[in-house]
Amino acid sequence: MSPADPRSRKPGRLLVVLPSWLGDGAMATPALRRLRDALPGSYIAGLARSGVAELLAGTVLLDEILIERASGVMGPKRAAAKVRPLRFEAALLLTNSFSTALVARIAGIPRRVGYDRDGRGMLLTERLSAPEWPGSTARKRRWAPVSAVAYYDAAARALLGDPAPPFEDLEDPMAVLAPGAVLELPLSEADRAAGAAVLASAGVGAREPIAVLNPGANNPAKRWPPERFGAVAAHLGAAHGLRVLINTGPGEEEVCRAVVAACPGAVALAPHGQTLAGLRAILARARLLVTNDTGPRHLAGAFGTPTVALFGPTDPRWTTLPERAPGADPPREIRLAAGWLGEAPLPPDQIADEHPDRCRIDRVRVGEVLGAVDRLLGASSGSREPGVRIGR
């Protein structure tokens, strides 16, 4: 690599195109930490949708967050117009979309690093190979179930000139991460105040021990049945003396009503003005989260909240989170994945997403969830400082 090659120079002005979903935004933070530590004097900005921008607001990992959607016919042009005057030397695309690569190209960013997929290779100056699964063909690509945390971090390493070994050569894809890497999210006094206001409106005492159930998900197939959440809520109250709170997002009103009806005594947070800021503080305070595989799970991972995560029919390997203390018993998170439970688990060379019936989320049984709840609460009944950055 010659000195004139832009890959031989660390960028003084870097744009990171951030993932679109909240959970993915949280899973990108180890990559952002790697960039921040390697480029202490550089200006690093993120390009994000409004939800991810709100999630990362106040982070020390970025100098600025530009809010823009690149969707729609004119979306890339509008986003490029916002980016071009900032004269970035390089762009790291953590997204996989064609449109975000087009933004970087139209904005005239000379170095554009990202995974070569979804037909956008011609827009990149450095094409990274996305990990593929055996049996993948040019006509039908089968992407390997590699955690987004590792996927993003490997891209950051490539931009810094420190390429990770190919995922296919690694027994554990998480080995690409820096030692001690964890999810990192800010938790401000404004967040704490927002959470306190929601809890006060819901009639929850300032020192009352709480557990949070998160029964929603963007895909209805990923939602564990409401009556089973009801059984968990009853157990949390009777066996552990916890006040149970129900968190749901926009558009999940029907899910919220069904779960509240199945959870006598539980309190829904949405009618009390729940916001993303308030959710951060509430999860940081909670003794436990029981959740489907969706955004709040990753927020809890950033704050070290003990979590029981329910998977189906998606493969849990897509969203493996880094551990602060490998081998700890119990871990901060217990994952219960339909298809891997029972006497005949899915072989590791199979992807759960390709077996939707065998890996239906309702195949996760109530008894398995209650066992995980008891295991985590038995070890976490003492005080825990809110906001501590622990992975699983």
Q: Provide the pLDDT for residue 250.
A: 86
Percent of the chain with pLDDT over 90: 78
Nearest to 156 by CA among 10, 265, 291, 313: 10
Instruction: Note whether 372 and 336 are within 8 A (CB).
Output: yes
Percent of the chain with pLDDT over 70: 93
Could you give the residue range(s) of every CATH 3.40.50.2000 domain in the chain? 6-176, 189-379
CATH number, domain 6-176, options 3.40.50.2000, 1.10.10.10, 1.10.3470.10, 3.30.1370.160: 3.40.50.2000
The per-residue pLDDT for range 282-336, each reduced to its tens digit, is: 999 999 999 999 999 999 999 999 999 999 999 999 999 998 767 777 789 999 9
Rounded to an integer, what is the distance from CA 111 to the centroid of its chain? 27
The per-residue pLDDT for range 325-358, each reduced to its tens digit, is: 677 777 899 999 998 887 778 898 999 999 999 9
Give the residue-averaged pLDDT of 254-275: 91
Q: Provide the pLDDT for residue 310.
A: 97
- 189-379 adopts what CATH topology? Rossmann fold (3.40.50)
Q: Provide the pLDDT for residue 6.
A: 56
Identify the bridge partners of residue 143 per DSSP, sorted by sequence position.
132
Between the alpha carbon of residue 199 and those of residues 272, 276, 288, the distances in Å are: 8, 14, 16
- Other beta carbons within 10 angstroms of residue 271's beta carbon come to 13
Q: Provide the pLDDT for residue 5.
A: 57
For 280, residues 6+ apart whose C-beta sits below 8 A from its C-beta are: 185, 187, 191, 195, 299, 303
Q: Provide the pLDDT for residue 381.
A: 43
Q: Provide the pLDDT for residue 8.
A: 57
Q: pLDDT band for position 70 (50/70/90)? A: low
Give the residue-averaged pLDDT of 27-32: 98
- Other beta carbons within 10 angstroms of residue 238's beta carbon come to 10
What mean pLDDT, rounded, does the chain reach? 90
Q: Residue 2: pLDDT above 60?
A: no
Q: Residue 66: pLDDT above 50?
A: yes
User: What's phi and psi for 45, nearest 5 deg?
Assistant: -115, 155
The per-residue pLDDT for range 187-244, each reduced to its tens digit, is: 999 999 999 999 999 999 999 999 999 999 989 999 999 999 999 999 999 999 999 9
